[in-house]
A and B are shown apart, each in its own frame.
Chain A
Amino acid sequence: MRIDDDDAALVKACQRGDATAWETLVRRYQRLIYTIPRRIGLGDDDAAEVFQRVCVALLENLSKIEQPERIGAWLATTARRESWRQVRRIRPSESLDQDDEQSQAMQIPDTSLLPDELLERIERQHAVRRALEQLDDWCRTLLTLLFYRPDPPSYSDIANQFGIPEGSIGPTRARCLQKLRRVLEGSGA
């Protein structure tokens, strides 16, 4: 199973019990799954619990997933629902009526904890990171330095660090962003 295998192929391989495909799939989406409970405000232990529950749900539902190519969206939605359930577990004072709790927890995410538009933004950010991984090393490094660092270095610093002309950085950055956009368009994200 190659790292660039598409999601549908990975899901199908997982359905056959391919542990390598499972590892690729889990590693590919670990950041997305783990970020959602953290964004909702859960701590390390509870986020870890949500992560495991999402993976168990994935394993249980491998054969039922109708659009394996959209597994990222399925995982994001499941992570939000499991995060909501975890919030209910650790803050029982906020629970719904006992009779309703289980059915609602199974079906209805509390979207106030993570609105749809924010969930979609997290999914898009994950898609951008995946697209970035498909760029060449230099583009990936440059875009990471410029756009993912809270304190991005100046062109002068980058030029000194990598021993390249400062004047080449702007045009290179532009080409790398264009490549990134093309990869995203190709992925349908």
Chain B
Amino acid sequence: MTPITAEQIIDLAEGRLPPSEAAALRARIATDPVAQAELQEFEALISLMRDDDSVDAPDHVIARALRLMRPSAPAPKGEIMRRFIATLLGDSWQAPLAIGLRSDPTSLRSLSYRAEDYDLDLQVLPRAGQWQLRGQVLGPEVDGSVTLQGVDRTINAPLNELGEFHLPLVDAGVYSLLITLRTCEITIERLELSPLTPSI
């Protein structure tokens, strides 16, 4: 009897053989422990590939994680406090959607800003008619605090060692966000937290 080839074993593992041929080959393999182990290994390998429904992270998600580790900037000269206005780079509610779809005002909204050497990622979450703002400052230094200022309310929160902050729930409205760091201040001048007017 001719030896069982790897190609035969793989044909069987892949399910390419007609039932009668597969049954005959399985019977032969059952008497050969080496071939049997090979068959089990290839069946497992092929199954792992066929069942793999993993997905790549979107580019902007990867980019945000990559920014977590950035080269440090040189220390500023003098004691002058620099002031910057942040520029909006991206808004998930403004992202192009498929024809016929609208932004979902009940979903998390992601905003990204840039100010000089700093990137600001904000996330706005609707919570029972109110809004929660959290975010992260990415840049040469992240030692400082944030201040959310509205018409009748001002809230402060510290930045943690990774430049992250979480603010408590606030009512819908127009706010400004001030990020105060050791050597600079960054302002987002108009931050509108509202389900009805998603532009900023």
Measuring CB to CB, which residues of chain A are less than 8 angstroms from any residue of chain B?
14, 17, 19, 22-23, 26-27, 30-35, 38, 43-49, 51-52, 55-56, 59-60, 121-122, 124-126, 128-129, 143, 146-148, 170-171, 173-174, 177-178, 180-181, 184
Q: How many residues of B contact A (CB 8 A)?
A: 37
B187: Cβ under 8 A from any A Cβ? no
Say yes or no: is B62 at the interface (Cβ < 8 Å to chain A). yes
**Does chain A have a CB within 8 A of B162?**
yes
Asked if B24 is at the interface (CB within 8 A of a chain A CB), the reply is no
Complex CA–CA separation, A37 to B132 (angstroms): 22
B6 and A178 form a contact (CB under 8 A): yes
Further 10 A-B residue pairs, CB within 8 A, beyond A171-B7, A174-B6, A177-B10? A22-B69, A26-B62, A26-B65, A43-B107, A56-B162, A59-B68, A59-B162, A60-B162, A128-B52, A147-B49
Q: Let me know if A125 and B55 touch, CB within 8 A.
A: no
Q: Within 8 Å of chain A (Cβ to Cβ): is B66?
A: yes
B50 within 8 A of partner (CB): yes
* Chain B: CB-nearest residue to A149: B50
Which residue in A19, A45, A122, A173 is a CB contact (below 8 Å) of B108? A45
User: Is B79 an interface residue when CB atoms closer than 8 A count as contact?
Assistant: no
The yes or no answer to B54 lying at the interface (CB within 8 A) is: yes
Least Cβ distance of A55 to chain B in Å? 4
Chain B's nearest CB lies how many Å from the CB of A53? Answer: 10
Closest Cβ of chain B: how far from A165's Cβ, in Å? 15
8 nearest A-B pairs in the assembled complex, by CB-CB distance:
A34-B57, A147-B49, A55-B65, A45-B108, A35-B54, A22-B69, A174-B7, A30-B57
Stretch at the interface among B25-33, B40-48, B83-91, B174-182: B40-48
Contact residues in B for A27 (Cβ distance below 8 Å)? 62
Q: Is the CB of B55 within 8 A of A170?
A: no
- Check if A44 sits within 8 Å of B58, measured CB to CB: yes
| B residues 1-45 in Cβ contact with A at 8 Å | 6-7, 10-11, 14, 16, 41-42, 45
**A45 interface neighbour in B54, B57, B62, B92, Cβ under 8 Å:** B92
Chain A residues lying within 8 Å of B11, measured Cβ to Cβ, are 170
